[in-house]
């Protein structure tokens, strides 16, 4: 056994896949201990917040300021509100409003803002402009107010007795706060999804649930395929004919179509993660059974099997002690492929809206489904779907790499 393990871990492909898979597994296990948040908790009142560090504005105003004289501060402030796209959009509105093109200089910030302030009318109806575009220009106009101002912002609070506003603080443009001193800060490395949920926390939980589904589905499919393949290959005769009849019947029907029909018939309320995993397992054992049968057919007439049979050993004893150990390496490789296939099958079902119920736990497929429904790919909100695709790719790639490494170790035709 130790010799076999050493051989396996000498395979570069297996080790690479194993390291990737174990790293993902450790993240799934450790991250919830460090960030014990509900993965389906809605923390943002809005959709698709971009990745970043979010600082509470109220707390930052009341945090002790530090004066920093950074030379690029004003330039960065202007560029953040008035980039190349915003300048071009302003030019388009001004042209549509009848301003001659030669009067519009989008490179001169002061001149452009002055022209915009004098001519922009939020209520003006320009021919061909949609309501959404008009709303965009209104938001743009609000963000440009006071952009070139050099004085600070005045913070005022109402007087408890008179009700009039009284100045309590002036925030200078050179004032900075140390983010460590702000009491409420939330780091969102992958932003939020369409529901306002932390994508990273959701992704880690979803990866864990998808792995559970894959393991359960893989174990069920491998166990069924192994038992039927052993019986059909060793006993033969009528037993083999009956098993192969049902196996060939299921081969004719595409397993994913069968999976869709069964999942649809179960109903959304009853489709839990384990239920989906069980359905996947019971519809994906066919190729394992055929492959195990072929392996057993090549072993059942070997000398050691005939000797065990002549010694009076039972069929169960011969299968478990004289045949199964010789195909265990293949069974392990089949299990790895079944787990990988189970994860992909769940993802495919969930994208079609036939996966586990959405109110219970997230899965990688459900996250893809939500991203597609709310058009994250159309809106350019990459953080809602790209990390999911990368995680799916890493899981399946690592497992297939491990399988290839095992095949090179146990398959004499592929050994170097």
DSSP codes joined into one string, 289-344? HHHHHHHHHTTTTSHHHHHHHHTT--HHHHIIIIIHHHHHHHHHHHHHHHHHHHHH
Closest CA to 397 of 21, 12, 22, 24: 21
The helix (run of H) or strand (run of E) holding residue 104 is none
CA dist 6 and 80 (Å) reads 57
> Phi/psi zone of residue 151: left (φ > 0), alpha (ψ -120 to 50 degrees), beta?
beta
CA dist 155 and 303 (Å) reads 92
Closest CA to 204 of 23, 336, 357: 23
CA dist 276 and 40 (Å) reads 20
CA dist 248 and 86 (Å) reads 63
CA dist 159 and 46 (Å) reads 33
Under a CB-based contact definition with an 8 Å cutoff, are residues 39 and 202 in contact?
yes
Q: What is the pLDDT of residue 415?
A: 54
Q: What is the pLDDT of residue 270?
A: 83
Residue 380 φ then ψ, to 5°: 80, 20
Distance from the first to the final alpha carbon of the chain: 21
Under a CB-based contact definition with an 8 Å cutoff, are residues 350 and 362 in contact?
no
Q: What is the pLDDT of residue 196?
A: 92
Q: What is the pLDDT of residue 219?
A: 96
Q: What is the pLDDT of residue 253?
A: 82
CA dist 140 and 113 (Å) reads 12
Q: What is the pLDDT of residue 277?
A: 93
Under a CB-based contact definition with an 8 Å cutoff, are residues 243 and 289 in contact?
yes
Each residue's pLDDT expressed in tens, for the chain with a length of 416 residues: 677 777 777 888 889 999 999 999 999 999 999 999 899 999 999 889 999 999 999 999 989 999 999 888 888 888 888 888 999 999 999 998 888 888 898 888 889 998 999 899 888 888 888 888 888 888 898 888 888 888 888 888 898 888 888 888 888 889 999 999 999 999 999 999 999 999 999 999 999 999 999 999 999 999 999 999 999 998 988 998 999 998 988 888 888 888 888 888 887 778 888 999 999 999 999 999 999 999 898 888 888 888 888 888 888 888 888 899 888 888 999 999 999 999 999 999 999 888 888 777 899 999 999 999 999 988 899 999 999 999 999 999 999 999 988 888 877 565 55
Q: How far is CA 91 from CA 95, 105, 126, 131, in A?
A: 6, 8, 14, 18
């Amino acid at each position: 056994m130790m010799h076999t393990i050493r051989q396996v871990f000498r395979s570069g492909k297996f080790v690479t896949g194993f390291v990737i898979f174990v790293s993902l597994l450790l993240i799934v296990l450790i991250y919830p201990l460090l960030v014990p948040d509900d993965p389906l908790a809605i923390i943002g009142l809005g959709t698709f917040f971009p990745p970043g560090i979010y600082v509470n504005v109220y707390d930052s105003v009341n945090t002790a300021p530090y004066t920093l004289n950074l030379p690029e501060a004003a330039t960065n402030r202007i560029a953040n509100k008035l980039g190349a796209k915003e300048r071009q959009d302003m030019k388009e509105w001004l042209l549509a409003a009848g301003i001659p093109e030669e009067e519009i200089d989008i490179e001169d910030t002061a001149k452009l803002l002055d022209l915009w302030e004098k001519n922009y009318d939020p209520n003006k109806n320009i021919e061909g402009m949609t309501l959404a575009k008009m709303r965009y220009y209104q938001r743009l106009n609000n963000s440009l107010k006071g952009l070139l101002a050099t004085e600070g912002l005045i913070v005022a609070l109402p007087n408890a007795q008179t009700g009039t506003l009284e100045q309590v603080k002036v925030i200078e443009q050179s004032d900075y706060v140390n983010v460590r001193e702000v009491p409420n800060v939330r780091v969102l490395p992958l932003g939020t999804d369409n529901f306002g949920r932390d994508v990273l926390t959701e992704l880690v939980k979803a990866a864990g649930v998808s792995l559970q589904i894959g393991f359960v589905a893989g174990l069920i499919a491998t166990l069924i395929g192994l038992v039927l393949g052993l019986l059909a290959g060793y006993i033969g005769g009528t037993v083999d004919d009956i098993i192969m009849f049902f196996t060939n019947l299921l081969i004719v029907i595409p397993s994913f179509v069968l999976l869709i029909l069964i999942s649809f018939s179960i109903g959304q309320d009853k489709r839990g993660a384990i239920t989906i995993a069980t359905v996947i397992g019971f519809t994906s054992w066919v190729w394992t059974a055929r492959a195990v049968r072929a392996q057993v057919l090549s072993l059942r007439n070997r000398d050691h099997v005939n000797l065990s049979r002549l010694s009076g050993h039972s069929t169960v004893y011969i299968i478990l002690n004289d045949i199964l150990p010789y195909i265990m390496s293949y069974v392990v490789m089949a299990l790895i492929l079944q787990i990988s296939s189970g994860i992909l099958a769940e993802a495919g079902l969930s994208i079609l809206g036939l996966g586990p119920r959405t109110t219970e736990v997230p899965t990688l497929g459900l996250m893809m489904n939500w991203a597609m429904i709310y058009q994250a790919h159309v809106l350019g909100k990459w953080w809602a779907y790209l990390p999911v695709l990368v995680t799916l790719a890493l899981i399946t790639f690592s497992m297939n790499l491990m399988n290839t490494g095992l095949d090179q170790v146990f398959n004499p035709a592929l050994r170097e």
